[in-house]
């Protein structure tokens, strides 16, 4: 992805033209990312293959590592956990040296034999916030399978020219007449349905019985008259920019900060019913011929240098678990550290976590993934 930043003296202020260019590029990201040659690329000397959400192989992140180790990081991108699993399943073992996945999919990668065990001593967990040093889902049966590199909270992203933070203190705002035709959705069932489950009063939003699931279906379908549309990742940015949508559930600061820095009146509010944490983590692919290089790459990503770059990447911003990474972010991009609430001298993003307002995103517990996706697909066709 090209550089989305202008020539601000600090070097990192998003321009409106740069944002639009970057959002357009995201639309074709899977097709336009670095050429990916599958298993052969993974076997090439001085090449590391990296499967990730969009933008994680951007030169802004990977160039310092490439220059230090004399290697090339070759990226393959996906959008959504099910697509990630399908790509891994359809590829020969060893195709991907490093796999970035959402926390809730680690157990499926482990059970399918797609990732290897990792040695906790290789990674700086003592620099992480205590809440993230032994986070559920990274250790399975006492063994480490993935290392957390970034996270964020999902609630309501909204246009403050039309909806204040007080207006968005409840997900119920989405049913009000004033936003009819202005409620948008990122087209992935899990985050939106999770937030609607919180609205229904389910404290563990993905672990609900069948009666609560039936109510969640009804709640989801009842939003249909309010809809602006369903959007792919890049289209989320453009729909909020063009005001096709004024409010979206199930997304957060990963979009609103970039839009805000582009001069748009967009923010994220976590409603009183709560929000959901997404977590991105890195694993070493089973069968990788670059095991040592893969370990070094993950070590770099969770180092202070790698962490602030992950937080500030052009595709979308993210919170980071390494406290020394917070220090590096405050030094290199103080504006972003303020927007991400990564400050040590005032209330910060960890306080919301400690307050018990945030629930970890999961795949469905009492129903199947197919049950939830079927509801989502029905909803899209109402």
- Could you report the per-residue pLDDT of 4-23, keeping only the tens digit for each? 322 232 233 333 334 333 44
Indicate which CATH number applies to the domain containing 307. 3.40.190.10
Residues 247 and 363 in one domain: yes
Separation of alpha carbons 56 and 349, rounded Å: 22
Tally of structural domains, the chain = 2
> Which range (62-66, 229-233, 244-248, 328-332) has the least confidence?
229-233
Residues 181 and 244 in one domain: yes
The count of other CB atoms within 10 Å of the CB of residue 141 is: 7
User: How large a percentage of the chain has pLDDT more than 90?
Assistant: 84
Separation of alpha carbons 220 and 209, rounded Å: 16
Residues 37 and 137 in one domain: yes
Residues 129 and 210 in one domain: no
pLDDT (average), residues 261-288:
96
Closest CA to 349 of 253, 271, 267: 253
Residues 259 and 371 in one domain: yes
Residues 55 and 135 in one domain: yes
Tokens 């097709």 label which residue? 31
Report pLDDT digits (tens) over 205-241.
Answer: 999 999 999 999 999 999 999 999 999 988 999 999 9
pLDDT exceeds 80 at position 90: yes
Is residue 252 one of the residues assigned to a domain?
yes
Residues 226 and 371 in one domain: yes
The residue among 29 and 367 whose pLDDT is bigger is 367
With residue 339 as reference, give the H or E element that holds it: helix 334-339
pLDDT exceeds 90 at position 172: yes
The residue among 251 and 80 whose pLDDT is bigger is 251
Residues 42 and 103 in one domain: yes
Residues 244 and 364 in one domain: yes
Is residue 199 one of the residues assigned to a domain?
yes
Output the pLDDT for position 44. 63
pLDDT (average), residues 253-264:
93
Is residue 212 one of the residues assigned to a domain?
yes
| Domain region containing 216 | 152-276+357-380
Separation of alpha carbons 23 and 41, rounded Å: 28
Residues 57 and 133 in one domain: yes
Residues 109 and 190 in one domain: no
Is residue 1 one of the residues assigned to a domain?
no
């Amino acid at each position: 992805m090209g550089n989305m930043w202008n020539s601000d003296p600090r070097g990192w202020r998003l321009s409106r033209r740069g944002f639009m260019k970057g959002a357009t590029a995201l639309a074709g990201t899977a097709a336009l990312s670095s050429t990916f040659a599958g298993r052969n690329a993974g076997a090439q000397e001085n090449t590391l293959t990296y499967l990730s959400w969009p933008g994680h192989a951007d030169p802004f992140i990977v160039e310092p590592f490439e220059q230090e180790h004399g290697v090339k990081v070759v990226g393959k991108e996906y959008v959504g956990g099910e697509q990630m699993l399908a790509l891994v399943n359809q590829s020969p073992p060893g195709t991907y040296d490093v796999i970035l996945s959402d926390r809730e999919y680690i157990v499926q990668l482990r059970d399918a034999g797609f990732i290897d065990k990792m040695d906790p001593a290789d990674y700086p967990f003592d620099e992480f916030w205590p809440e993230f040093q032994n986070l559920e889902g990274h250790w399975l049966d006492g063994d480490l399978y993935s290392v957390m590199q970034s996270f964020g909270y999902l609630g309501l992203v909204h246009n403050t020219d039309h909806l204040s933070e007080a207006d968005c203190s409840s997900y119920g705002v989405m049913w009000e007449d004033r936003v009819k035709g202005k409620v948008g959705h990122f087209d992935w069932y899990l985050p939106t349905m999770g937030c609607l489950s919180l609205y229904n009063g389910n404290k563990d939003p993905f672990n609900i019985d069948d009666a609560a699931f039936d109510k969640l279906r009804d709640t989801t379908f009842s939003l249909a008259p309010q809809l602006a549309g369903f959007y792919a990742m890049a289209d989320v940015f453009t729909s909020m920019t063009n005001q096709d949508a004024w409010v979206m559930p199930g997304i957060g600061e990963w979009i609103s900060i970039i839009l805000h820095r582009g001069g748009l009146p967009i923010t994220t509010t976590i409603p009183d019913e709560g929000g959901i944490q997404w977590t991105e983590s890195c694993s070493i692919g089973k069968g990788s011929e670059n095991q040592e290089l893969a370990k070094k790459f993950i070590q770099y990503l969770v180092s202070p240098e790698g962490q602030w770059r992950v937080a500030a990447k052009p595709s979308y911003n993210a919170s980071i678990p390494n406290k020394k990474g917070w220090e590096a972010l405050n030094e290199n991009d103080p504006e972003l550290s303020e927007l991400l609430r990564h400050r040590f001298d005032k209330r910060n993003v960890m306080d919301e976590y400690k307050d018990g307002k945030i629930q970890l995103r999961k795949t469905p517990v009492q129903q199947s993934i197919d049950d939830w996706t079927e509801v989502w697909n029905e909803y899209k066709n109402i």
